[in-house]
Amino acid sequence: MTQLEAARKGLITEEMKTAAAAEKIDPEILRQKIAAGTAIICLNSKHAGVRPLAVGEGLRTKVNANIGTSKDDVSIDKEMEKARVAVAAGADAIMDLSTGGPVDEIRRAVIAEAGVTIGSVPLYQAALEAVNVQRKAIVDMTVDDIFAGIEKHLEDGVDFITVHCGVTRSTVERMRNEGRVMEVVSRGGSFTVEWMAHNNAENPLFEHYDKLLQLVKPYDCVLSLGDGFRPGCLADATDRAQIHELILLGELTQRAWDAGVQVMIEGPGHVPLNQIEANIKLQKRLCHGAPFYVLGPLVTDIAPGYDHITCAIGGTLAAAAGADFLCYVTPSEHLRLPTVEDVHEGVMASRIAAHAADIVKGVPGAWEQDLAMARCRKQLDWEGQFRLAIDPEKARRMRAESGVDEEHGACTMCGEFCAYKVMNERQQKEAAGG
């Protein structure tokens, strides 16, 4: 019985209890959300020793970090270090998107060692098997090849898989009729579009969706319905292809629920600030409140090297409007495979966005953290500030590097003219009757 089926029967599982405790909510509230499909628990039945992750309505906004090799950099050690840094920085989940080197070994190492929820895109596996093992083109993958890749990831214990089921021939036609600046920027989406064109056939993951549900259900793996037509630039945001795919994903969500399979929806991409809230509301309406997992969204196209910032701006607005899960973007986006330092910066940027949105959402404990920080700042309690900081190590290091005289308490920005210091001294004099 899946978490969804248990919730619908009124049963509170151990996974629900553990996840609810982490969210600081009553397990019955979480059960009701899972039963309604507005929340999910990410935990493959084969992924032992990891805490179940709840994602959805009214819960803390979660953050995912993407890692993975490419053909140009196949180092397992680098990717494992990135996984460790991402987890240490507070990432709730890691997606392994490796496309170079020993991808099976990398995925299994990440699952075994990361200690958090793991996601993947099994279509990459099928493509690599076709090219490297069977010595054929990606477009010559068979339906069986695609499903074999999915099954391998499920067996390894991946907790959620991105599947581009909404990339269909009719959606491609709408994209071409309207016109796009960047067409398809999703890697999995582009594989699927080219496969359909070459084989003059429908997307296997759409045509054989019931088979996919049957395959996934025994593992209780979450289907992350991918946005193959997500906009890759502001000019393509909220166009026919994106919205048509979203309509299809809403229909596929209902079919998954009918089969007892948990679902979340992946979202855009590059979106102007004034369209973000509408995108979130549209997704929630068309997909019946299913959890929304967004990449960014990035609010401008002109900031290579700073796209973790453009992501954080868009992610804050998206999460405040109801997005449930933020996929980070690093400073390397559009430029290179991210470094270990890029991964840290990307996680921190998205965690700041998630927390800022949680204050707006009224997530338990979010407001209280900021209030505690304010009180520590008022008292010039530096140890308290470091303890509450989202990145304590960086905050402590930056203060130490300033060479500040700890005896006087203030920082080097204002020194003796520190407003807190002035006000605290006045209050001390008043208390002493001065």
Known binding-site residues equal 66, 95, 124, 164, 186-188, 227-230, 266, 270, 293, 334, 411, 414, 418
Question: Which residues partner with 102 through β-bridges?
Answer: none
Q: Which residues are annotated as a binding site for substrate?
A: 66, 95, 124, 164, 186-188, 227-230, 266, 293
- Residue 118, both tokens: 């793991």
- Residue 50, both tokens: 């990891």
d(CA 3, CA 24): 19
Question: Which three-class secondary structure state does DSSP give residue 54?
Answer: strand
Q: Please report, for residues 94, 95, 149, 152, the alpha-carbon distance to residue 42 in angstroms, rounded to integers and kept in the order given.
A: 12, 13, 20, 18
Q: Which secondary-structure segment (H or E) carries 77? A: helix 76-88
d(CA 222, CA 47): 13
Q: Which residues are annotated as a binding site for Zn(2+)?
A: 270, 334
Q: Which residues are annotated as a binding site for [4Fe-4S] cluster?
A: 411, 414, 418
Q: Helix and strand tally (H, E) in the chain? A: 19, 10
Q: Are 352 and 387 in contact (CB under 8 A)?
A: no
DSSP notation for 413-428: TTGGG-HHHHHHHHHH
d(CA 249, CA 166): 6
Residues with Cβ within 8 Å of 206's Cβ and at least 6 positions away in sequence, in order, are: 165, 166, 167, 168, 248, 252
Determine how many CB atoms are found less than 10 A away from the CB of residue 360. 15
